[in-house]
Amino acid sequence: AQKVTQAQTEISVVEKEDVTLDCVYETRDTTYYLFWYKQPPSGELVFLIRRNSFDEQNEISGRYSWNFQKSTSSFNFTITASQVVDSAVYFCALIERGSTLGRLYFGRGTQLTVWP
């Protein structure tokens, strides 16, 4: 079974629109870590955020915000006032504490295209 599900394969928005990327995860561990990464066309993964399972506070960083809901096993990512430079593939990922240190399970990614 998929441990991380990103149901949205592709999203297109026009600049300045808000957009939310969904992520649903599955784990039996009580301690785990959730991540979001951005992958621009160059291919290099850019770390955006890490959240541990005991911290359900939502986080905001500039135009980015994350909504962690343990009750629904979701860790959604919202970009406010999107810009063309936000166009990339975004991956949600999970590390389970019971797994080999650092073994990441990736979702299949969401391709975000922001049009000018």
Choose the binding region for another protein from 18-26, 40-48, 59-67, 80-88 (rule: CB under 8 A).
40-48
3-state secondary structure the chain: CCCEECCCCEEEEECCCCEEECCEECCCCCCEEEEEEEECCCCCCEEEEEEECCCCCCEEECCEEEEEEHHHCEEEEEECCCCHHHCEEEEEEEEECCCCCCCEEECCCEEEEEEC
Q: Which is nearer to another protein, 102 or 116 (CB)?
A: 102
Binding residue for another protein, selected from 45, 74, 78, 80, defined by CB under 8 A? 45
Binding residue for another protein, selected from 43, 71, 85, 116, defined by CB under 8 A? 43
Choose the binding region for another protein from 20-28, 56-64, 72-80, 90-98 (rule: CB under 8 A).
90-98
